[in-house]
Every structure is written in structure tokens, then in C-alpha cells.
Structure 1
Amino acid sequence: MAKFDTHLPGTFCWPELSTTNWQQGKAFYTQLFNWGFDDQPIGEGVFYTMLQQDGLDIGAMYQMEAAQQESGMPSHWLNYIAVDDVDLMTEKAKKLNAEIICGPMNVGDAGKMSLMVEPGGAMFALWQGAEHPGARKLKEPGTMVWNELATRNANKSKAFYCDLFDWQVKDQDMQGMAYSLFFIRDQEEPVAGMMTMTDEWPEDIPAHWMIYFAVTDCDAYIEKAKNLGANICVEATDVPGVGRFSVITDPQGAVFSIIQSETP
């Protein structure tokens, strides 16, 4: 499969887990997906763990700071989007009413990033790769394959991302539910999806970007996740023309999805 040495601006390039229990979280994901890992020291007894497949970085995880845990922040996956110029794009996002949490900031010689919350309430990050482009493998079993925005204000979120990244939108009906696909201009393959959070969603769930990992057998991975202590939020569900997916909460509380695609 393809090895990524760079990522097209406006595409999702890196998943990162902030967890309340680094050791247990690492054990869960490496057993579930058969990932390798490389613990890189970033402080006394603190590591930034590169998650790997076939020796290539496909994501990362780290121990959440105590102050963040005390504030009530749950374990969570963060989605990074590739850009050519993080300074320029951060300023553009700010003018589009995004709240900049931190950055732009250099991450050693790996690259430069900024973290923000968009007007609809979802958090995401920008990444300008240097020595580290982001995930070296995507869209194959055990790696990030899809990113989906859940928002309570679809119009506000749609306008923000289209203005920031020059994404184009295609709205469609998916089993009676309004669903939007985002495209980079002149590209045929969508880069992300968006769904509206209805009144059926619990009020305490904020807008968020959901990460999907590709699997070859959705049902088998659900059973494996259960045996490793995960909770299943959405049982295996078929989406005609797309595949079979499930939403899972890991033992530390971070939510992610798996999907068995109908087509490669």
C-alpha cells in the first residue's frame, strides 16, 4: 500500500490520543489493532508514543496532564488537518471566528501546529509538516480511513470549513438522515463527512470530529474491543454502499469508530 511522505493541504493527516491512563490506553490499542509503538520521552516519566504499523508512524498518544483531568476533560482523539502555512491558516481561522487554544507553535523539527475550536464547537488541529509529515499510512486496515464532523449547527460549521480550506460540499440523504461530504476543489474523493446532531443526542456531548479506523471484520473487532474492556456505543450497523461500522468507547473513555468498507 501507499506510503505517505507528504499530505495534500486540506486533508486529515494525523490522529492523536490524549488519555487519562497512558499505560492502559497503549495496551488497549496495541492489542486491538496489533500496532507497534515507539515511546519518545518528552519529560520526566512522560512519553509521546508513536503508534506504528509495519514500523511506520500512523498516529500517536500521550498521558493527559493532571490539570486537564481535574478540569473534567475526558480522554479524546484529536484530528489534524494538513496545511502549507500554519501561521497564515491560523490567522484565517481566527478571522472566521475560531477560538485558538494554542499555537502556532513549533514541535521540534517535526513541524508546526495550532489547536483550535471552530464556531460550531468542534476541536481540531492544523499541521505543517517538516521532518514529520504526519501519518505514513492511511486508508488501509488498522489505520485512519475517515473523519466525520458531528455538529449542532451544520450551516455554521459548513461555512467555516469551506471558507478556511476552500472545501466544496455535496449534501445527500443517507438512510433518511442529512449528510454532507466535503471535497477539495477539483478532487473526486471526499476528504470528510458531516452530520447534524439531533435532539436525540445527549446534551452533554459537544460537537466533535469522529475518527474512523479501517478494519477487515467489524463484528470480530467489536468482540475483541469488548474483551479488552471497551464499551460499544453503536453496535455494528450497515450503511448501504459504504460499509459496516461501529462506535466504540475505549476503557479510558475516548470515543472512536471502526468501519469495514464495502470497497477497498
Structure 2
Amino acid sequence: MSVKHGDFVWYELMSPDVAGAAAFYTAVLGWDAADSGMPGLTYTLFSQKGVHVAGLMDIPPDAAARKVPPNWTGYVAVDDVDVSAAEVTRLGGQVHRAPDDIPGVGRFAIVADPDGAVIGLLKGQGDPPELPGLGTPGHIAWRELHADNGAKALDFYGQLFGWEKRDGLDMGPMGIYQLYGKNGADYGGITPRQPDMGSPMWVYYIQVENIDETAKRVVANGGKIELEPMEVPGEMWVIQCRDPQGALTAMVGPRV
């Protein structure tokens, strides 16, 4: 299935300690980590059974100057990065990194929605690899936006990427967990930001085979559990955690 405008296509970790981050994720998730070989750029590629999963890089100087903390960023495919970046501004968002080219890879930009949650735009060169289906161990399975105004956020992303409102789950005092997606598929959820979350942000859930064993490996390798295993629909459990460098990440999987 070819990648279309509005599809998530890549994930990237910015960290102040690339070697330490690589050691953590390879130990916890079984990923392989190898240098990309791109001239003039130190960029690590994480892979699962030979399939690229995500990238890892130092926090760039301009981001460090803005005191951007270690973080994961998701990239969404767009037909034209420059047009979409301009649309972000028109819709009340902000462009943090103006459209630029990565030789041999494509054109990208880093933007933020009106709440301030950061996301990437990407127009790749050539035919991208087919993405693994949801539920494939070692790959991103869910994309969750913690927003100050969920309805406003969904309208923004709907105009920008063509995402559609899907089912909503009533979480009681925590508000409505609004699913979003495209072409009949769920991509993730939009949830009201809780006070302990800090600023509005995206959280990406990595599929694992055993949530309890994964949680143990997180702690054993210097990470910190922020959300203990919690059951979600589909007989799955989730955890949220911080890697040793402080980046927030999450895992989803069954209890075996």
C-alpha cells in the first residue's frame, strides 16, 4: 500500500546522549542500532528484524537554544512540504524548522499545532517501504495527542492532513478520548492533557510482546516508569516511561 498525504511515515528521537539512548532501546525493545552512513550527519537508524523503525540524533543547536528537551517526534507524509508548512501558519500553528532538504531522503519541516504540540512534515524521495501493520512487535502501534483543546486540535489536523473524527471513548473525569484516522482506519487518539503531562505533546506507543517483561527491562536499563501497566480496549496493556535521558515514550502489549 503506497504512502499517502496524512500517513505517519517516520519517528525520530532527539537525545543529548545518542550512545546511551541507543543502548537503552536496543536492550528494552530488541532493536538493532546502526549509523545511517549519511555524509556529514551523525544519524542512527533503529531497525527491527531488518526493517527500519525510527531514527536517533543529537538535539540540534537551534533546538538546544530553545531548551527543547529530549523527545520523540512523528513525521507525517505530505504532498508538498512548503505548502503544508504555510498551511500550518495559516491555521494558527507555528513552523519551528523551515522546509529543508535532506540529500537522498527528501524534504521536511518541523511544526507545532496551535496548542504547541510538535510534529514533522515529510515528503520522501522515491518509493517508501511498505509500513508494517498495527500490532507488529517492535513498531509504532498508536499515536496519542495530549491536547488542551481536543476539538480544536482535530479541526487543525483534519484541515492539514485530512484526518477524520472517529469513535470517542468516555473516560469519566479524564474526559473524552477521541479516536482519529483516515480511510476507515484508526491512527490514534486525542486525549485531554492532564496536569502532570506538562505541555501539549504527542506520545508514541511501541508494540511489545509482553508488557510486564518490557516494564522490567525499562527499569533495569535506567528508565523510569511514569504510568504503571494500565488495561486498554482490545485486551492490551500500556505503560508510559522515560528513557535514561528523559524522553517520554510508551509501550503497548499483552500480559502473557
Confirm or deny a common fold (TM above 0.5): yes
SS of aligned partner of 1:256: strand
The residue identity in structure 1 corresponding to 2:161 is F
Q: Would the aligned equivalents of 2:210 and 2:254 in 1 still touch at CA under 8 Å?
A: no
In structure 2, relative to structure 1, the CA distance for the partners of 1:42 and 1:109 (3 Å cut) is closer
In structure 2, relative to structure 1, the CA distance for the partners of 1:106 and 1:212 (3 Å cut) is same
- 1:211: which partner in 2? 204
Equivalent in 32, 45, 48 of residue 53 of structure 1: 48
- 1:148: which partner in 2? 144
In structure 2, relative to structure 1, the CA distance for the partners of 1:62 and 1:144 (3 Å cut) is same
Q: Measure how far apart 1:138 and its partner are.
A: 5.1
2:99 is equivalent to residue 99 of structure 1 = no
- 1:183: which partner in 2? 181
- 1:238: which partner in 2? 231
Equivalent in 12, 19, 28 of residue 16 of structure 1: 12
Q: Would the aligned equivalents of 2:211 and 2:254 in 1 still touch at CA under 8 Å?
A: no
Percent identity of the aligned residues?
A: 26
SS of aligned partner of 2:218: helix
Q: Would the aligned equivalents of 1:233 and 1:246 in 2 still touch at CA under 8 Å?
A: yes
The residue identity in structure 1 corresponding to 2:208 is V
- 2:79: which partner in 1? 84
Q: Would the aligned equivalents of 1:235 and 1:247 in 2 still touch at CA under 8 Å?
A: yes
2:240 is equivalent to residue 247 of structure 1 = yes
Find the aligned partners of 2:65 and 2:199 in 1 and give their Cα distance: 19
Find the aligned partners of 1:113 and 1:99 in 2 and give their Cα distance: 15
Find the aligned partners of 1:156 and 1:183 in 2 and give their Cα distance: 16
The residue identity in structure 2 corresponding to 1:183 is G
Q: Measure how far apart 1:111 and its partner are.
A: 1.0
Q: Would the aligned equivalents of 1:101 and 1:117 in 2 still touch at CA under 8 Å?
A: yes
- 1:120: which partner in 2? 115
Find the aligned partners of 1:16 and 1:37 in 2 and give their Cα distance: 13
Paired residue total:
252
State the superposition RMSD in angstroms.
2.2
The residue identity in structure 2 corresponding to 1:95 is R
Unmatched segments (≥5 aa) in structure 1: none
Find the aligned partners of 1:188 and 1:194 in 2 and give their Cα distance: 17
Unmatched segments (≥5 aa) in structure 2: none
Q: Would the aligned equivalents of 2:171 and 2:177 in 1 still touch at CA under 8 Å?
A: no
Deviations 1:186-227 (A, max 9, x none): x221122100114xx13x711111100001111110001110
Find the aligned partners of 2:225 and 2:57 in 1 and give their Cα distance: 23
The residue identity in structure 2 corresponding to 1:239 is V
TM normalised by structure 2 equals: 0.90
Equivalent in 93, 101, 106 of residue 111 of structure 1: 106
Deviations 1:76-110 (A, max 9, x none): 00111111222222222221121111121111121
In structure 2, relative to structure 1, the CA distance for the partners of 1:7 and 1:260 (3 Å cut) is same
Find the aligned partners of 2:77 and 2:45 in 1 and give their Cα distance: 18
